[in-house]
Homo-oligomer: A and B are copies of this chain.
Amino acid sequence: MTVTSPQGFRAAGITAGLKASGTPDLALVVNDGPEHTAAAVFTSNRVVGAPVMWSRQAVKDGVARAVVLNSGGANVCTGPGGFQDAHATAEKVADELGIGAIDVLVGSTGLIGVRLAADKLLAGVPVAVGALAADDAGGLAAATAIMTTDTVPKTAVRTVETPSGGTFTVGGMAKGAGMLAPALATMLCVITTDASVAAADADAALRAATRVTFDRVDSDGAMSTSDTVVLMASGASNVTPDLDVLTDAVTAICADLARQLVADAEGASHDIAITVTNATTEDAALAVARAVSRSNLVKAAVFGNDPNWGRILSQVGTVPEEVAPFDPAELDVSVNGVLVCKAGGAYEPPEKVDMAAARDVTFTIDLHAGDAEVTLWTNDLTHDYVHENSAYSS
List the interface of chain A (C-beta within 8 A of B): 44-48, 76-79, 111-114, 183-184, 219-225, 291, 294-297, 300-301, 303-304, 306-311, 313-321, 328, 331, 341, 343-346, 350, 381-383, 385-387, 389-394
Min CB gap A73→B, angstroms: 11
Report yes or no: B220 in contact with A297, Cβ–Cβ below 8 A.
yes
Report whether A314 and B47 are in contact in the complex, using a CB–CB cutoff of 8 Å: yes
A235 to chain B, nearest CB (A): 37
Given contacts A300-B385, A310-B76, contact A45 B318 (CB under 8 A): yes
27 contacts between A and B (CB under 8 A): A45-B317, A46-B318, A46-B321, A47-B314, A47-B316, A47-B317, A48-B328, A77-B310, A77-B341, A79-B345, A112-B311, A112-B313, A113-B309, A113-B313, A113-B346, A183-B311, A184-B297, A219-B296, A223-B318, A296-B385, A300-B389, A304-B391, A306-B394, A309-B394, A350-B394, A381-B389, A381-B390
Tell me whether B46 and A328 are in contact (CB under 8 A): yes
Q: Is the CB of B294 within 8 A of A220?
A: yes
**Copies in the assembly, this chain:** 2
Report, nearest first, the 9 A-B pairs whose CB atoms are least far apart: A112-B310, A47-B317, A304-B390, A300-B389, A45-B317, A46-B317, A308-B394, A222-B318, A303-B390
User: Which single residue of chain B is at the shortest CB-CB distance from A311?
Assistant: B184
B301 contacts A389, C-beta separation under 8 Å: yes
Interface centre among A296, A309, A344, A391 (most CB of B within 10 A): A296
* Residue among B79, B295, B300 making CB contact with A390, cutoff 8 Å: B300
- Quick one: given A77-B341, A77-B344, are A394 and B328 in contact (CB under 8 Å)? no
Contact A317–B48 (Cβ < 8 Å): yes
- Of all chain B residues, which has the CB nearest A302? B390
Inter-chain contact A328/B389, CB cutoff 8 Å:
no
Are A386 and B389 within 8 A (Cβ)? no
Q: Compute how far the CA of A77 lies from the CA of B310 in the bound complex, rounded to whole angstroms.
A: 8
Chain B residue with minimal CB distance to A112?
Answer: B310
B113 touches A310 (CB 8 A): yes
Find the B residue at minimum CB distance from A331. Answer: B47
CB neighbours (8 Å) of A311 from chain B are: 112, 183-184
Q: In the bound complex, how far is the Cα of B45 from the Cα of A295, in angstroms?
A: 14
